[in-house]
Structure 1
């Protein structure tokens, strides 16, 4: 039976039911209580059936065909644009569903507040109400973030069409910007002010709220390292004394995520391969002004290196040769850094040997019984994939070549994922960019790869003003300018002027890190120091010009070649020393010479996160013109380690220097070593004297031992303790012109012990030393207390 036949049958049935209902109604006059009820039932049945018959069927669905389209209400938007969104052409047959789809397309264009579509015979009538145009955008209530910074983040802009959805997205962006600065309670409300000519002003009303600080950072599950040690690892900090000057004590959710990665890296570098952060809990205080952040962690067991072997699957790569290139020893604490450095060393060896597409795969076997990891380095053939090109985007100031020279790979080279990762780390280490993403994608053919570098610039210049106090030079002031990415060339330019009551320092330095496109740093240093008789018994003027070239000679070694030109003048002598009077009478003198310095620094590779060694040795040969001819030799060795779960830092420093004047030349006080050789004595407070006036010495040597440890104070104070023992000597002086009694001209050691308070202040690390001289010589000037900038290794 067809649908049409079924419909006719139903209509006949309805006619019968309707006739029966009329008969019942007539009889209801005679039997109202009985027949009226039956009539009502039949009437309702008839109505249901009528409703059933009025439901449109697929056969009877309504279609439309329009010969004309009338568009009303549009002022800025062209009618053709609206027709394009509608997608309905003249003369086309469309269904009601397609009309609804056209309506949705026009509405979703984001150009109209309201849309209606009405079929009028052969004419389709489209009525629209356009969104207004934004006349201006304003921010009210913001003091912590400038208008310009907010404008740079939102999507809406003047002379664009106002879109409520876009305005809501702008609200979310502004709220997120405040959350990133620690103001997670900030609220933003968009307000629209109607103007004439269908224009509006868009105003974002901002309630900034207060910064929500991190009151306490806690760790649950840590056994190997204390909360105090782990707080030094994470980037978030607890609220301290100078919370107004420190931004890292504010709660920022993204920073917490970064802290989790820092913790993972910290434990992995110390052999805890199973470490994981099981969860974080940020609890808002009842007063809603501080957070209590807790990291739940599982440390796992600490693993060491087991057997270290190398196997080769390549006929032209001998495993024994590559095994000899390794620097890993069984029994050492496992760290992924050593594995990565070994892979890099072996792959560089493969490049030198001409083995293309050499890849080193570390195959690690876990031994839970003895807590070791056996590492087998497999030399395998990597896929034959080449670098098609390197695309760099987002650098508005930094030149492409500054980024490109961080890659050891160039176009056409075999593609090595490890080298690309290392290049990405070098780009981030430049500290020129807020973000730096490096990704690889397939190129024009399957065996080609395109490396995409996407960076976001950040400010690299700074202007500083400062005040200082030193027990040797009193109160001082300084102003400095530093640009780490000068003219976008990756160059460093720095200038500083520092002055106190009795001396002034002027410094200008410039560094080109890639001289002539090579891994060679070219440096220029200018300095001028003026002191007056309040600092000593004579005025001095010392100027220096020092260009240099520095380049790597090994994985941890650097060699610097330099030229030095120095101007030195002594005047206005007020003392009684015959030696100094003779030297002052010589007036100004020039010295010119060549030199070198070799440094070996294991901190460059970070193979041991708890220890490091720095060795430096250099010589300067003067006599290349000028008034003086001498050799200046200097040496320094520093070793540091952390013990007792890294709570105690131990450091030993050995340094010395020698001046050897040639021919008839004699050194002067401005040439000789002075300053603070060891703690416990004033600057220029030990060494040879004449008539109790310090002369300085041609030789010095010092051995210093330091220990730094926590004092049990809350970490937010940033105060730790220290103890030291120094032993040193300053000796030898040319006695030409001596008229008074001489003392300490030979090698005589001095010794001092002391305690220190180290404060990580907002103005820099300060060190307060309380010293006691154990051994001294006549004429020495002891110093029980001094305040200085704390140096770091």
Structure 2
């Protein structure tokens, strides 16, 4: 309220007084018009010699005067007074404001907002008080603001909507206290969860709804979605899903794909959503002619053309184009061609559904990296982030390399957010790369239990730190105990030894077994430092040293055979070896997102106590592809090993054993050479001896079962064939020492649960030996190729 000297208000007039006749009103309007028009400048002005401020307690008078903006002796109009009122009221410091001109004095009367004493939440159970406290901006011992309280209430409602509780309501209430203080209480009505009951697609012909639902981050409501919490309708997540769908189709050659709309409809009971994605797939395109051109005289076009891996006929993917650009730019740097940029020019051929790609090499701007600034890494050392860059200060600036560095930083898994931006430096030809990150916890301590048909129940504890002391190193300690065995593990990893692309690992383990499928105990310890480094685009080499000690004890001569007794009498044995493993993995370049090949070949050359030398060889090959619009996964695995001794022989602790992890359908030690019969004491024995040679081939298919995708259940079938054979020392009671193939078929149930992907295998041996130990069912953690 703003009053003039006569007590009349500035602002909207109030409706009061008696009704006038139409003639009286008309004559009054004419009189006012004649009085005002000749003297348009007769609006009342004020000039104040002093300003009096009343009602303020915490806010200084000078602060109020600064908001008012009226100086002593200054001529002001009624409009100026109204603007002064708006500025003081808009400061958010006062509950009421009143400006009253009294002659030469301007009286400013204010009533301050109260101070917040405490903030409480009532009615909330799904979101705890400590979480809500971080959402609201109102704070204790700060001035209460009704508008801020309303915004806080809206933010709380948004937080509940993120959990699918769209019916949540929050009401801020004020409880008056003494000394102009209030208690701010947010009364919360949480409401129920409105889940996404069904996700459907319209317009998809190539890929089924089941396949597309597996791509989305949003999931249908299911038996475990209460834990996963991705079955609620969140706008940002839907936008992310649209981008994911686009990337999915684009990487498979559907360059015209687009999502035309997303519809969300409430069910009749208003307790769920039907979510529908409307899509247009278009046609699949493949690479046509792939060429390299350049106007630069120093560029050998043939050299760059030979470096391309993409060939005509391959399904088009933007990722393959990006990889090709990165490959050509790296080649340019190796050839000493700085500031060379590669630009892809794509020509569309609708007749044969191909895309011709021309990689044009040109001279880019001469811009250098002035420096790299890293902020937000309170735990992680700068060098951990900096080594993700392939460029350093003073190198030519490459925008593509900066983007790839940002992806590598995010892939570390150390940060919840990692933003990498480039800005102009101290001169136009220099840039500063800013890296802003937010740390996240990287350590975990887990407790669990286990059960296996061979070892019974067990308890496991493990500590793992992925960013040890902020150095980017990994550290893990674990202990597993069972009825008949105990195992302890230690692992330390340095991914960039001496600041290079050289990984260092140190593994140590110790294991004790009591009557583990035999009537004797074993103790074995192992340490193995190793170095691993790339030797090609898809190849990696690991070099290692291994020291092992093993002992066989408590061999009951009334229950074990002669061969085991002889091996136990040799006492404790040390093995020292050096070895290597070469791996070739096509997934490292991602030329085909639906298929991959992994090849591994490793050997260890060592000596044992007593002078015996040995060579231990392991080989593994895995090939996988997806067919029938990627609904069915086919996988083939070939695996084998050989242990060759010279000047001695191995023991049961050194040889290979086959169990469900190698060949399904049999117990650990269930196939292979055995000593069966009577020992020299005349007692009946049945000892699994292991073997020096083994080979196995596994073929399997994984496919949907037609169940709702949200159940996370799929099926599979498999066929395994393999054998374990060969010993240095045998006797008359040794059986199955020669190669004898076992054949197994089975079905699998895959179940994606919050505790991990489980696999249930049901097997039947088509061909086996008489004394093999079958295992027709096993439950394992499903591993992905």
User: Do they fold alike, i.e. is TM over 0.5?
Assistant: yes
1:205 maps to which residue? 187
The CA deviation at 1:534 is 4.9
Contact 1:283 1:293 in 2 (8 A): yes
The CA deviation at 1:493 is 2.3
Which residues in structure 2 correspond to 1:770-789 (within 5 Å)? 770-789=762-781
SS in 2 for 1:152: helix
1:50 maps to which residue? 31
Distance between the aligned counterparts of 2:294 and 2:281, measured in 1?
35
2:666 maps to which residue? 681
Contact 1:65 1:122 in 2 (8 A): yes
Query: Normalising by the residue count of structure 1, what TM-score does the alignment of the two structures yield?
Result: 0.91
RMSD, matched Cα = 2.1
1:647 maps to which residue? 631
| CA shift in 2, pair 1:359/1:301, >3 Å | same
The CA deviation at 1:238 is 1.6
Distance between the aligned counterparts of 1:207 and 1:42, measured in 2?
59
| CA shift in 2, pair 1:231/1:663, >3 Å | same
2:97 to 104, 112, 115: 115
Matched, 1:412 2:403: no
| CA shift in 2, pair 1:363/1:668, >3 Å | same
Larger mean Cα displacement after TM superposition, 525-534 or 357-366: 525-534
Contact 1:542 1:569 in 2 (8 A): yes
Distance between the aligned counterparts of 2:478 and 2:737, measured in 1?
37
Query: Normalising by the residue count of structure 2, what TM-score does the alignment of the two structures yield?
Result: 0.92
The CA deviation at 1:379 is 0.2
2:17 maps to which residue? none
2:679 maps to which residue? none
Contact 1:527 1:544 in 2 (8 A): yes
Matched, 1:623 2:607: yes
Distance between the aligned counterparts of 2:351 and 2:577, measured in 1?
62
Distance between the aligned counterparts of 2:210 and 2:330, measured in 1?
40
| CA shift in 2, pair 1:105/1:399, >3 Å | farther
Distance between the aligned counterparts of 2:463 and 2:293, measured in 1?
54
The CA deviation at 1:55 is 4.2
2:752 maps to which residue? 760
Contact 1:463 1:479 in 2 (8 A): yes
1:746 maps to which residue? 738
Distance between the aligned counterparts of 1:627 and 1:70, measured in 2?
105
Contact 1:393 1:454 in 2 (8 A): yes
2:725 maps to which residue? 731
1:632 maps to which residue? 616
2:705 to 696, 704, 711: 711
Contact 1:592 1:626 in 2 (8 A): no
1:279 maps to which residue? 261
2:204 maps to which residue? 222
Larger mean Cα displacement after TM superposition, 714-723 or 636-645: 714-723
Distance between the aligned counterparts of 2:441 and 2:156, measured in 1?
21
The CA deviation at 1:707 is 0.9
| CA shift in 2, pair 1:370/1:209, >3 Å | same
Distance between the aligned counterparts of 1:490 and 1:348, measured in 2?
26
Query: What 5-or-longer segments of structure 2 have no aligned partner?
Result: 1-20, 677-685
2:573 maps to which residue? 589
Distance between the aligned counterparts of 2:437 and 2:35, measured in 1?
65
1:153 maps to which residue? 135
> Residue deviations 1:110-165, cap 9 Å, x none?
22222222222322222222122222222222222232222223222222222222
SS in 1 for 2:647: coil
Distance between the aligned counterparts of 1:550 and 1:51, measured in 2?
96
1:21 maps to which residue? none
Contact 1:589 1:627 in 2 (8 A): no
| CA shift in 2, pair 1:349/1:704, >3 Å | same
The CA deviation at 1:448 is 2.5
Contact 2:574 2:608 in 1 (8 A): no
Contact 1:471 1:787 in 2 (8 A): no
Structure of greater Rg: 1
Larger mean Cα displacement after TM superposition, 323-332 or 277-286: 277-286
Matched, 1:533 2:515: yes
Distance between the aligned counterparts of 1:183 and 1:563, measured in 2?
57
The CA deviation at 1:420 is 1.4
Query: What 5-or-longer segments of structure 1 have no aligned partner?
Result: 1-39
Distance between the aligned counterparts of 1:87 and 1:470, measured in 2?
81
